[in-house]
Amino acid sequence: MTLDPRLDLKLERFVDVPRRLVWEAWTTPEHLKHWFVPRPWTITDCEIDLRPGGVFRSVMRSPEGHEFPNMGCFLEVIPEERLVWTDALLPGFRPSEKPFFTAFLHLDEENGGTRYTAIALHRDEAGRKTHEEMGFEQGWGTVVDQLVEYIKTSMV
């Protein structure tokens, strides 16, 4: 995949947990709720229909109690290897009103752990800039740390 630095953001890390557990934490709502947003934010609801066209929905709650629903659909699901989803389309591939980005999650086995790569593709430079200013690097990095912590304390 060739990335365009004007439009795309990427976070890549090695995590010392097995790929199968990273996959399970990403694809099971009961797990995802525990780590998917930087604390003190929380996920109050989550729905995952793990197939192309299937729903990927979450509701984020701010520390002040404001809720932010997110709805999209999966485009590609390769178990334990890759997830691709977008908010440009709703479940059943229906166009959404306000698309923001398409996400790729790549998981590769490496030295007993996982090479974790998250990519966000944006329609235009303004969308990329907005996502970057929202704290893509820090926020998505924090979420990876929380994912690893959750796996180590609750899944092994």
Q: What is the pLDDT of residues 47-73, one digit of tens each?
A: 999 999 999 999 999 999 999 999 999
Q: Chain-wide mean pLDDT for the chain?
A: 97
Give me the domains of the chain, ranges plus CATH numbers: 8-155 (3.30.530.20)
| Per-residue pLDDT, 156 | 82
Please, which residues have CB within 8 angstroms of residue 129's CB and are 6 or more apart in sequence?
none
| pLDDT-flagged residues of the chain (< 50) | none
**CA distances in angstroms from 41 to 6, 61, 62, 67, 101, listed in the order given:** 29, 6, 5, 10, 21
